[in-house]
């Protein structure tokens, strides 16, 4: 009996031990399962795969807006209450840049980089404005990989072929680079087909905001949406509604700290002959620049009101808690800085522009001085949408900065402009190089943020020049920059300003022509001929048959005219023909070889 009792006790101990082991294993297993599923859940939050869990995206894109035109970002002289609200509820990137340009129409290059995620030097060499090669464009990627309902409203300046590749739906699209904000035509896009042009019927910023408001109100919740709203403001003509310019006439903002009557050297061809620089005579006077800044600020404040309408509509909609709002611009604008008016330069005020993000998972009221490019938004929005960005892009996600996982994504910036300007900057220094005239500038941005004190010839800073030149060369190697930094036979350094050669485009309204162009009625001094009255009814039957003249050019691309957005060309007579007639742009040649389509003027 004793032996049997001992045996039972041992069995009981073994059973208790086994139970404890099983219980412990169960706890460990539950912990492991919780850890595994928790990790999977965290990944799922970071990379959502279900389209309904992806955030909506509203992309608000201004045109020609300087980085210093938002009150919340340090400008007490401008009224931007809605952008201030967006900044206070979101995250601001204070050193955001356009990465230079292949064209005097800088917006064309900026938008090409945004849509493809590629630096302009990594776009096809032939017609990169409208030829994006094998790039996967952002809206199409969101649509195909994330089941986004993508729609465009507003300006599209990169040709019809790229539009067809990027969006299949759109409302009130302006196919061009600029227009009179109060008098222009738009088209709608359905199933990839553009409608005939129609009158926009209002001021540009209001028209585009109206369409955005309508879209948000009508959008369902069964799939995410990508709403791309490309405003034309504050691009010239600087003709805001009268009340918006008067408010600044009555309380004038100061001139830029780096205002000059003339730019002191020939930095680029556009500086002495371009359309942008012709918007005021030389020398620039404080009175004229003051008025134009008032008009420019008026456009920004009017745009701000329309942004507010969009934000208010979103707040009242079922999408309020699941929508990321992006506000940025394609580049900045000189507006009197350094004696310039346009953006065809590599100074800070022309290459820098605002960038604010707001929405779920984005810190509120925070900002960063990390160096960013506009085209970084490609990878950033893919990151938020849980979509893998394609290989071969130059864009880098900004999400790690907003999450606090990284202080920055690059240590320096490179700003190449065509073949005539280069700039590189780090946290302290900025070097400009002007290859056509063998000229260099060096600025200490920590003490000279307005780039006014050139230190390039100072012997005390030669090591700084050499270090920045080395940094520029590393960027040039990375991007395979083909253009030299100096020439054997430099062009004259001294600029020649000739007011008789100022270019007047076709979009400036009468009050601007009267005020800044001495009352000129016709662009480029050309007076269009009156069109003969068209015969109708019985007169048509007996009317004389018209003569026909066909003018056939060789190798002329679909945007190679002023009226279609080129600022590098002067084509007053072609512009006149296009304005008086009917245009089909772009037209296409028949397929010459497999996979190739040729766009041309028609």
Residue 214 corresponds to which tokens in the numbers above?
A: 């309508």
CA 386/CA 48 separation, integer angstroms: 5
Cis? peptide before 22, omega within 30° of 0:
no
Taking the C-alpha atoms of residue 240 and residue 249, their distance in angstroms, rounded to an integer, is 12
Task: Mean pLDDT check: name the lowest of 146-160, 213-227, 335-349, 567-581.
Answer: 567-581
Residue 376 lies in a domain: yes
Containing domain of residue 597, as a range?
545-602
pLDDT at 564 > cutoff 90? no
Residues 91 and 192 grouped into a single domain: yes
**76: number of Cβ within 10 Å:** 7
Does one domain contain both 340 and 451?
Answer: no
| Listed range (127-131, 213-217, 342-346, 580-584) with the worst mean pLDDT | 580-584
Residue 33 confidence (pLDDT): 36
Kindly report the CATH number assigned to the domain that includes residue 69: 3.40.720.10
Same domain as 201, residue 173: yes
* Percent with pLDDT over 90 in the chain: 76
What pLDDT, on a 0 to 100 scale, did the predictor assign at position 570? Answer: 77
Look at residue 40 and give its three-state secondary structure: helix
Same domain, 454 and 402: no
User: What is the C-alpha separation between 261 and 266, in angstroms, rounded?
Assistant: 14
pLDDT band of 361, cuts 50, 70, 90: very high
The residue-averaged pLDDT of 516-526 equals: 79
Residue 110 has a pLDDT of 98
- Report the percentage of the chain scoring pLDDT > 70: 82
With 70 as the cut, is the pLDDT of residue 48 above it? no
Query: Is residue 533 assigned to a domain?
Result: no
Q: Say whether both 561 and 433 belong to one domain.
A: no
Cα 360 vs. chain centroid, distance in angstroms?
Answer: 23
Distance CA 211, CA 370 (A): 34
**Shared-domain flag, residues 331 and 425:** no
Let me know if residue 493 belongs to a domain.
no
26 domain-assigned? no
Query: Look-up: residue for tokens 């009317």?
Result: 543
* pTM assigned to the model: 0.82
Q: What is the pLDDT of residues 365-394, one digit of tens each?
A: 999 999 999 999 999 999 999 999 999 999
The reported pLDDT for the residue numbered 356 is 98
Total of domains in the chain = 3
564 within 8 A of 585, measured Cβ to Cβ: yes
Secondary structure letter of residue 488 according to DSSP? S
Least confident of 16-25, 344-353, 501-510, 556-565: 16-25
Q: Residue 106 — left, alpha, or beta (φ > 0 → left; ψ -120 to 50 → alpha)?
A: alpha
Phi/psi region, residue 225 (left: phi>0; alpha: psi -120 to 50; beta: rest), is beta
For residues 61 and 146, membership in a common domain is answered with: yes
């Amino acid at each position: 009996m004793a032996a049997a009792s001992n045996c039972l006790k041992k069995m009981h101990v073994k059973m208790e031990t086994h139970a404890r082991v099983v219980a412990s294993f169960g706890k460990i297993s539950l912990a492991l399962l919780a850890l595994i599923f928790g990790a999977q859940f965290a990944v799922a939050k970071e990379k959502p795969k279900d389209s309904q869990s992806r955030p909506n995206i509203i992309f608000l894109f201004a045109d020609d807006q300087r980085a210093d035109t938002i009150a919340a970002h340090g400008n007490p002289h401008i009224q931007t209450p809605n952008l201030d609200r967006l900044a206070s509820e979101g995250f601001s990137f204070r050193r955001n840049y356009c990465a230079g340009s292949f064209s005097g129409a800088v917006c064309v290059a900026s938008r090409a980089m945004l849509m493809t995620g590629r630096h302009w030097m990594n776009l096809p060499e032939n017609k990169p404005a409208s030829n994006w090669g094998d790039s996967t464009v952002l809206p199409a990627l969101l649509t195909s990989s994330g089941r986004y309902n993508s729609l465009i409203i507003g300006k599209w300046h990169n040709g019809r072929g790229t539009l067809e590749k990027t969006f299949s739906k759109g409302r009130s699209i302006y196919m061009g680079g600029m227009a009179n904000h109060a008098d222009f035509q738009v088209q709608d896009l359905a199933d990839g087909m553009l409608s005939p042009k129609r009158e926009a019927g209002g001021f540009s910023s209001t028209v585009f905001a109206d369409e955005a408001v309508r879209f948000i109100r009508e959008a369902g919740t069964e799939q995410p949406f990508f709403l791309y709203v490309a405003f034309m403001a504050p691009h010239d003509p600087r003709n805001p509604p009268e009340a918006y310019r008067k408010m600044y006439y009555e309380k004038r903002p100061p001139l830029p700290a780096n205002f000059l009557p003339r730019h002191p050297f020939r930095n680029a061809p556009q500086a002495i002959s371009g359309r942008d620089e012709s918007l005021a005579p030389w020398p620039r006077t404080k009175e004229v620049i003051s008025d134009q800044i008032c008009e420019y600020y008026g456009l920004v404040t009017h745009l701000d009101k329309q942004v507010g309408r969009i934000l208010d509509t979103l707040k009242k909609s079922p999408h309020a808690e699941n929508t990321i709002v992006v506000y940025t611009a394609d580049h900045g604008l000189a507006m009197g800085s350094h004696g310039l008016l346009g953006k065809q330069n590599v100074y800070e005020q022309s290459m820098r522009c605002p960038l604010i993000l707001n929405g779920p998972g984005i810190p509120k009221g925070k900002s960063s001085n990390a160096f960013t490019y506009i085209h970084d938004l490609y990878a950033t929005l893919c990151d938020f949408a849980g979509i893998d960005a394609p290989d071969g892009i130059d864009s880098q996600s900004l999400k790690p900065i907003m999450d606090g996982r990284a202080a920055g994504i690059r240590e320096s910036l490179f700003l190449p402009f065509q073949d005539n300007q280069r700039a590189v900057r780090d946290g302290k220094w900025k070097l400009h190089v002007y290859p056509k005239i063998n000229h260099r500038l060096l600025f200490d941005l920590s003490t000279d943020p307005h780039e006014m004190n050139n230190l390039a010839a100072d012997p005390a800073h030669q090591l700084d020049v050499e270090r920045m030149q080395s940094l520029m060369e590393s960027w040039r190697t990375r991007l395979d920059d083909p253009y030299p930094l100096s020439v054997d036979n430099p062009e004259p350094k001294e600029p020649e300003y000739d007011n008789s050669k100022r270019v007047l485009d076709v979009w400036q309204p009468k009050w601007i022509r009267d005020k800044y162009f001495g009352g000129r009625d016709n662009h480029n001094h050309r007076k269009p001929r009156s069109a003969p009255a068209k015969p109708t009814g019985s007169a048509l039957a007996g009317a004389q048959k018209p003569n026909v003249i066909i003018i056939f050019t060789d190798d002329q691309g679909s945007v190679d005219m002023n009226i279609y957005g080129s600022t590098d060309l002067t084509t007053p007579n072609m512009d006149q023909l296009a304005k008086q007639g009917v245009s089909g742009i772009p037209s296409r040649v028949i397929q010459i070889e497999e996979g190739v389509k040729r766009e041309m003027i028609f």
